[in-house]
Chains A and B, each alone.
Chain A
Amino acid sequence: MTWTTLKTALADQSYVASDDLAMALHLALSLERPLLLEGAAGVGKTEVARVLAASRDTKLIRLQCYEGLDAAQAIYEWNYQRQLLTIRAAAEDGETGQSVEARIFSRDFLLERPLLAAITQEQRPVLLIDEIDRADEEFEAYLLEVLAEYQVTIPELGTINATTKPIVILTSNGTRDLSDALRRRCLYSYLDYPSRETELAILQARCPDVEAHLGAQIVGFVQKLRGEELEKVPGIAEMLDFAAALMGLGVADLTSDPAILQHTLTTLLKTQSDQAQVTTEVSQRLAGRAA
């Protein structure tokens, strides 16, 4: 498989990948290395993993990182309640301590969390580690170990080796600098806001009902809007919401009704000051230039 066939495979799932991204994904697949994706919110980082899993017809295992995420939630945990009950029941039946111990520390009593689940699948899954920058540095270090060895050591059970190496995709929004060690371990791709042509292709792939004229207007408008000084710049997801809103309201031309355009801006502008800044005059000026 070459990177162009991968790009077409993603396009079949309505995901328009840039050449750079397709190449990075292709290498991550063929070299079996994790891929680190960075970029602004709403440029389709998480979506890549979902679409990749769908195109390869495999499972997507997602680990959403947050501050305070620890091994118990990311890798594995023993089912304590069940263990306690078993110990009680065994005491009444007069079972010996050793056999109870062997039983309660077996795979049946193990709760698999995403990282362990990802390395014990039969078919290579896609493991999405979302917003890695939100997790603590300690967790990042542990993750490095798992990604390097593809094995998890459970003291009571021994080492579990990967049956298949998962396809690992990490995303980051840059709220904290990631360690150089993690960056070095991964391949890297930076996703920027798409060019006009790419964004138009995305709109056509996702909302095929939008007419060419309106589609060009929507994309032009959003691209112009990104040039304004906004607190929260609208991403691709917002652009698609905007298009859906206009379609739902039966708008055929952006410049036809200033009031409706202003109302639909709620799909693009997500803070109060941004909404105050883009007044009817501004939106009309942008819409006029976008046409």
Chain B
Amino acid sequence: MSRVTKFAGRDPGPAARVAGFLAHLRENGLKLGVAEADTALAALTHVNASNPSDAKRALRAICTGSKDETTQFDALFDSYWMDAGRVHSKVIPKSSTSTAQDNVHSSRDAQGEAGGGAGEATTPDGGDGEAESDGEGKLVATEVRNLMRKDLRELVRPEDIARAEDVARRLGAALRDKRSRRRIAALKGDRLNFRKTMRRSLATGGEPLTLIKKKRPDRARKIVVLCDVSGSMSVYAQVFLAFIAALLRNDPDADAYLFHTRLVRITGALRDKDPMRAIGRMSLMADGFGGGSRIGHCLARFSETYARKFVDGRSVVMILSDGYDTAEPDLMGTAMAKLRKRGCKTLWLNPLKGWRDYAPIAAGMAAALPHLDHFCAAGTLADLAALEQELAKL
């Protein structure tokens, strides 16, 4: 028996079924507009639409736009069209609740009480959770994974983000790349801009009296932040998470990751319009927050996977970590060397460096040191703000 879905008799016709299919895709997260429905119908007239595999291929070419969507598409197609002869009664779903997801409003008041965390973002306090039970300042890498989920919203408050945003904006502005290959018109520059000069010369009868130059414009660098949220770092988490949230809200190119015993990409979660909800989503992803640290392992994973796609010569990779690792130091050294090969600038912000008599004796930190462009202290928001001068030199 054919696997093709049967449609109810009162069904309005093929066009409505295709529209229903697109609505089905939309509900499952594919970004499709009205124009796609039109194109899909037009496409089906060019193929043998009664052959399921032809129709599937045609619709796939139209409805998908990335590799992930391509893999997702097959199952979605089968669930709508190949429902093993079951009768599909409702073709077009009611315009539904799915749009509510991207709503800016949230039940929480903008300056709300929900934050509730203690302490100022600019000065790390005693913190709570595991670091406290270890006693103040006892920073030993722990191997246990803290499987208790921690709500990061307790750590970060909206006003902290507002303040961190200012710092993030200034840092982003300080990180400029001056090596662009493209030139734009300018009064002072190293080459002649013929196009503009010619146009201008017409006013003076073809004599190029004013010469317009062109120069290389400054470009924003892409900032990639990797933040350690293991137990030994949890006192600083408040500052760093506010900073990361602010950075991502400001800079559409920035990219962010958290790591403890695993590495998680949080860029998508943090792009939420509501800062507190973004932090809430991030805490769902950062399962295991405040547990042990496997920096070398996570950095190796980063350099082999995400870095290949998102890190290039115009990136600055910023690692926020104390460098206490439970894995062997070699792993960290090779991971950093590999990352560096992508042509990016590497920057390690270590909150412990601000301490008196600090020396990078932790074996992992020592192994990573030769591969860093910059190694500096940062534990508070003021420290991060002070980085501006240093970064401008990079």
Contact = CB atoms under 8 A, between A and B. Distances in A.
A251 B88 CA distance: 60
A87 B207 CA distance: 9
22 contacts: A3-B47, A3-B54, A20-B60, A20-B61, A23-B58, A27-B61, A28-B61, A35-B61, A36-B65, A68-B183, A72-B195, A80-B195, A91-B206, A100-B206, A175-B312, A184-B31, A184-B33, A184-B35, A184-B36, A184-B65, A188-B62, A189-B61
B47 A23 contact: yes
Interface string A263-280: 000000000000000000
Contacts of A87: 201, 206
Interface string B35-53: 1100100110011100001
A27 B180 contact: no
A97 interface: yes
Contacts of B208: 84
Interface centre among B36, B46, B48, B183 (most CB of A within 10 A): B46
A136 B312 CA distance: 14
Given A68-B181, A101-B202, A38 B67 contact: yes
Interface residues of A, number: 44
B66 interface: yes
Contacts of A69: 182
Interface string A127-140: 00000000010000
Identify the interface centre among B42, B48, B57: most chain A CB within 10 Å of its CB. Answer: B57
Nearest to A72: B195
Contacts of B201: 87
B309 to A, nearest CB: 6
Contact of A30 (B46, B67, B198, B309): B46
Contact of A188 (B65, B183, B194): B65
Interface in A85-133: 87-88, 90-91, 97, 100-101
A145 interface: no
Contact of B198 (A26, A66, A83): A83
A187 B58 CA distance: 10
Nearest to A182: B65
Contact of A97 (B43, B47, B64, B205): B205
Given A27-B62, A180-B65, A184-B65, 17 more contacts: A2-B48, A3-B54, A20-B61, A23-B54, A26-B46, A27-B61, A30-B46, A35-B61, A38-B66, A78-B195, A80-B198, A87-B201, A97-B206, A100-B206, A136-B182, A187-B61, A187-B62
Contacts of B64: 188, 190
Closest 5 CB pairs of A and B: A68-B182, A68-B181, A183-B65, A87-B206, A23-B57
A67 interface: yes
Contacts of B205: 91, 97
A280 B113 CA distance: 65
A66 B198 CA distance: 27
Contacts of B60: 20
B70 interface: yes
B70 A188 contact: yes
A187 B67 CA distance: 13
A26 B181 contact: no
Contacts of B62: 27, 187-188
A2 B182 contact: no
A31 B31 contact: no
B376 to A, nearest CB: 29
Given A26-B46, A183-B65, A33 B39 contact: yes
Nearest to A29: B46
B256 to A, nearest CB: 15
B43 A70 contact: no
Contacts of A28: 61
A2 B47 contact: yes
Nearest to A25: B61
Contacts of B53: 19
Nearest to A77: B195
B181 A67 contact: yes
Interface in A183-200: 183-184, 186-190
A24 interface: yes
A91 B61 CA distance: 58
Given A38-B67, A190-B67, A19 B42 contact: no
A175 B309 contact: yes
Nearest to A180: B31
B348 to A, nearest CB: 24
B333 to A, nearest CB: 15
A19 B57 contact: yes
A174 interface: yes
Nearest to A39: B67
A70 B31 CA distance: 30
A186 B66 CA distance: 11
A93 to B, nearest CB: 13
Interface string B338-367: 000000000000000000000000000000
